[in-house]
Amino acid sequence: MATNGASTNGNTYTGKPSRKFDPTFTQRVIDATGPKATPRIRQVIGSAIQHIHDWARENEITVDEWMAGVDIINQAGQMSNEKRNEGQLVCDVLGLESLVDEITYKLATDAKDQPTATAILGPFYRHDAPKRAMGDTIVFGIDNGDDALMFGQVTDFKTGKPIEGAVLDVWHTAPNGLYEQQDPDQPDFNLRGRFETGPDGKYNFYCLRPTSYPIPFDGPAGKLLQLLDRHPFRPAHIHFILSAPGYKPIVTQIFDRRDKYITNDSVFAVKDDLIVDFVPRKGDPKAQYELQYDFRLASYDDAVDAKL
Ligand code: MBD
Ligand code: FE
């Protein structure tokens, strides 16, 4: 990251690194690392120490400012439980989950003809969503949303062949902007489900055309957004994890092109390939909209695994 670069928008820190502090201190801290630390730990934590120290010196962080940061971290921890991951949300508003998603994805495949793009998991995934039959709905007890049929095919991105036994794990929010675990009025595992493809690789299920909503802003993530003069909204999206035997799983989301926040996601997750168009559906009493979306997976042979 450039620390002395020219600022075009007034938001970039342009101060010069200060020379007034002990020039040997940071190296002493890094050198305290012992011989049994793994090479990856030595490198990653050593580098983190260097960057954090440089950041503190360059911005002349005071004890009070540092303690305010520690409070944010502690509050995030205290608020977190199996239904809420505030530490992740703080990272999300700072763009960190989207950045590591980009890095992981770039490392995972260098092919030209890419598999489906990934997007961040976010804090609201739940394991073990109910397995449902193809053509079922994931919508229960909601009558104020737009129903949609989503359908498509899961294929091998190299060969184009359909993938049998691919599991599509899907989740999205209710029209009130809440995932079911945030909302006592929704049934358990509402708006979630797992669908497994047959030999043709095809899938279809009923869901809602999703709506934009604010990420939870009653904690440190919200406080940060407020301090930064930012809004908490995410564009309407549906989350997926695609997995299949022999294939590298992908975590992704699709986004509604017509959403007001499509170019202004509070957690920076939108990618062009993932923007979709819901179209009116005719002659189906169960849905006013439909959406076709095909997923392309890379087999383990074609994927270069990220090495950590
Ligand atoms: C969400 O619904 C979400 O998907 C992410 C990534 C962050 C906060 C709320
Ligand atoms: Fe989400």
Segment 41-58 shows an average pLDDT of 98
Question: 8-22, 38-52, 177-191, 235-249: which range is least confident on average?
Answer: 8-22
Segment 185-204 shows an average pLDDT of 98
Token pair, residue 30, equals 């890094």
pLDDT of 3 > 60? The answer is no
In this prediction, residue 112 carries a pLDDT of: 54
CA-nearest residue for atom 4, ligand 1, is 122
Q: Is the CB of 267 under 6 A from ligand 1?
A: yes
In this prediction, residue 302 carries a pLDDT of: 72
Q: Is the CB of 215 under 6 A from ligand 1?
A: yes
pLDDT of 268 > 60? The answer is yes
How far apart, in whole angstroms, are the C-alpha atoms of residue 194 and residue 168? 6
Q: Is the CB of 235 under 6 A from ligand 1?
A: no
pLDDT of 5 > 50? The answer is no
Q: Is the CB of 124 under 6 A from ligand 1?
A: yes
Pocket-testing residue among 267, 270, 271, 274, ligand 1, by greatest number of atoms within 8 A of Cβ: 267
Q: Is the CB of 169 under 6 A from ligand 1?
A: no
pLDDT of 40 > 50? The answer is yes
Token pair, residue 77, equals 């921890």
pLDDT of 20 > 90? The answer is no
CA-nearest residue for atom 7, ligand 1, is 122
- Domain residue ranges of the chain, discontinuous segments joined by +: 6-61, 89-307
How far apart, in whole angstroms, are the C-alpha atoms of residue 87 and residue 79? 9
How far apart, in whole angstroms, are the C-alpha atoms of residue 227 and residue 90? 13
Per-residue pLDDT tens over the stretch 220-233: 999 999 999 999 99
Residues in the chain: 308
Pocket-testing residue among 215, 218, 253, 255, ligand 1, by greatest number of atoms within 8 A of Cβ: 215
Distance 267 CA to ligand 2 centre (A): 10
Residue-averaged pLDDT of the chain: 91
Residue 120 Cα: closest atom of ligand 1: 6
How far apart, in whole angstroms, are the C-alpha atoms of residue 119 and residue 97? 9
pLDDT band with cut points at 50, 70 and 90 for residue 307:
very low
pLDDT of 105 > 90? The answer is no
Cβ-based neighbour number of residue 10 at 10 Å:
6
In this prediction, residue 83 carries a pLDDT of: 86
Segment 175-181 shows an average pLDDT of 96
Closest ligand to Cα 171 = 2
How far apart, in whole angstroms, are the C-alpha atoms of residue 196 and residue 218? 37
For the chain, what percent of residues have pLDDT higher than 90? Answer: 84
pTM: 0.89
In 231-252, which positions are buried (b, 16+ CB within 10 angstroms) versus exposed (e)?
A: ebbbbbbbbbbbbbeebbebbb
How far apart, in whole angstroms, are the C-alpha atoms of residue 151 and residue 276? 13
Residue 269 Cα: closest atom of ligand 1: 6
pLDDT band with cut points at 50, 70 and 90 for residue 7:
very low
In this prediction, residue 300 carries a pLDDT of: 84
Question: Going by C-beta distance under 8 Å and a sequence separation of 6 or more, which residues neighbour residue 158?
Answer: 111, 113, 298, 299, 302
Closest ligand to Cα 270 = 1
In 176-194, which positions are buried (b, 16+ CB within 10 angstroms) versus exposed (e)?
A: ebbbbbeeeebeebbbbbb
pLDDT of 153 > 90? The answer is yes
Torsions phi, psi of 269, nearest 5? Answer: -100, -10
Angle at 236 between CA 231 and CA 239, to 5 degrees: 115
Among 109, 107, 106, 180, residue whose Cα is nearest residue 138? 180
Question: 9-13, 55-59, 211-215: which range is least confident on average?
Answer: 9-13
In this prediction, residue 11 carries a pLDDT of: 59
Superfamily of domain 89-307: Aromatic compound dioxygenase (2.60.130.10)
Distance 253 CA to ligand 1 centre (A): 10
Segment 37-47 shows an average pLDDT of 98
In this prediction, residue 210 carries a pLDDT of: 97
